[in-house]
Amino acid sequence: MREEAITYRAHGKVNLYLDVLNRRYDGFTNIETIFQSVGLADDLTFTPGGDAVTLTCSHAGVPLDDTNLVARAAALLRPRASAPSGCAVHIEKRLPVAGGMAGGSADCAAALVAFNELWQCGLDDAGLIAAALELGSDIPFCLRGGTLAATGRGEIFHPLRPLPETWLVLLLPGIPISAGSLYNHPQLERSLETPVEGFTPAFLYAIEACERGALDRLVFNRMELPAFIDHPGLVHWKEQLLESGCTAAAMSGSGSTLFGVCAGREQAEAIAASGFECAALAVPTVQAGVQRLDPAP
């Protein structure tokens, strides 16, 4: 059994494109999306010892009981362990809670990788992806990271050319929004297009735009309308991003995080510092999901 602590970095994501299709027989909703990992990330440190898995977090709003996805990852993998042990897990939280950046999913992905290593579960990449899907729709992407098109629940991946480093401004209003509330919102207008060979025409156009790096023709989120109806302030912040010079702007996932696409680092840092009424950060896109930090910070 490994005795020293290990630390993994769990990158958040934005949805450069997100369309909502039909509701499925299993209660989930089919989507078409383009995921992109970003430089904002949580760091999780795993210290083996004792008999139980315990959680601590730098953010008071994160639950530390068995509803936390890190705890659920431990419960899922422990029966498969050849060298089970207790573990103290500390989450250094930077990603927003319920903010549309897959913060909980990213932490869960890091936990799956870490527990697979610590407990010698022997899962390969396919096994980790299968385990991830048992826990949540965004977690398989968070394991892989980078630039990926996805269909189904968001777990069927279609490789894309990696997006060159692109600087974004993230606005973090701190408004928790439930994805379920938007999927069931009476004002959600689902796409009426019919997929042909797996993709709607709009998604094919989005993929082409992404491959060309034409983000001004790509960025779109179908879930904005119901979110903006319930939280009108988000409309104002999106408009501010565009008025500040971003070439495109949208809400990420189910929100409330918003992002704007910039021409480079200098512009992103200038816009982020321009006086928004909520937290604003300049971050690059990255091609990583879960990263081992060695030595631990």
pLDDT over 60 at 296, yes or no: no
Mean local confidence (pLDDT), 205-221: 96
188 and 154 co-located in one domain: no
Rounded mean pLDDT, 269-284: 96
Average pLDDT, the chain: 95
Entry pTM:
0.95
Catalytic residue chosen out of the listed positions 13, 19, 42, 238: 13
84 and 63 inside one domain: yes
Instruction: Please tell me whether residues 193 and 173 are part of one structural domain.
Output: yes
Q: Are residues 140 and 20 in the same domain?
A: yes
| Catalytic residue selected from 19, 43, 107, 138 | 138
What is the mean predicted confidence (pLDDT) over 159-163?
95
Q: Please, which pLDDT band fits residue 213 given cuts at 50, 70 and 90? A: very high
Considering the domain architecture, whether residues 91 and 127 belong to the same structural domain is answered as yes
Judge whether 20 lies within some domain.
yes
| Domain count across the chain | 2
- Whether 13 is catalytic is yes
SS (H, E, C) the chain: CCCCCEEEEEEEEEEEEEEEEEECCCCCEEEEEEEEEEEEEEEEEEEECCCCEEEEECCCCCCCCCCCHHHHHHHHHHHHCCCCCCEEEEEECCCCCCCCCCHHHHHHHHHHHHHHHHCCCCCCHHHHHHHHHHHCCCHHHHHHCCEEEEECCCCEEEECCCCCCCEEEEEECCCCCCHHHHHCCCCCCCCCCCCECCECHHHHHHHHHHHHCCHHHCCEECCHHHHHHHCCHHHHHHHHHHHCCCCEEEECCCCCCEEEECCCHHHHHHHHCCCCCCEEEEEEECCCCEEEECCCC
pLDDT, tens digit (0-9, with 9 covering 90-100), for 168-208: 999 999 999 999 999 999 999 999 998 888 899 999 999 99
Q: Which among 110, 129, 158 is the end of a domain?
A: 158
Asked if residue 231 is part of any domain, the answer here is yes
Q: Classify residue 174: in a domain, yes or no.
A: yes
Pick the last residue of a domain from 124, 158, 192: 158
198 within a domain of the structure (yes/no): yes
Residue 3 has pLDDT above 80, yes or no: no
* Residue 128 and residue 107 share a domain: yes
Q: What is the mean pLDDT of residues 30-48?
A: 97
Task: Check residue 2 and give its pLDDT.
Answer: 63
What's the rounded mean pLDDT across residues 243-255? 97
Q: Is 42 part of the annotated catalytic residue set?
A: no
Q: Are residues 87 and 169 in the same domain?
A: no
110 shares its domain with 226 = no
Residues 153 and 259 in one domain: no
Instruction: Tell me, yes or no, whether 195 and 109 share the same domain.
Output: no
Q: What is the pLDDT averaged over residues 237-249? A: 97
Tell me the residue range of the domain where 119 lies.
Answer: 6-158
Whether the predicted pLDDT of 295 surpasses 70:
no
Is residue 69 located within the same domain as residue 187?
Answer: no
| Residue 297: inside a domain | no
Q: What is the mean pLDDT of residues 78-94?
A: 93
**Tens of pLDDT, residues 98-133:** 899 999 999 999 999 999 999 999 999 999 999 999
State the CATH number of the domain containing residue 45. Answer: 3.30.230.10
144 lies in the same domain as 261: no
Residue ending a domain, among 123, 140, 158, is 158
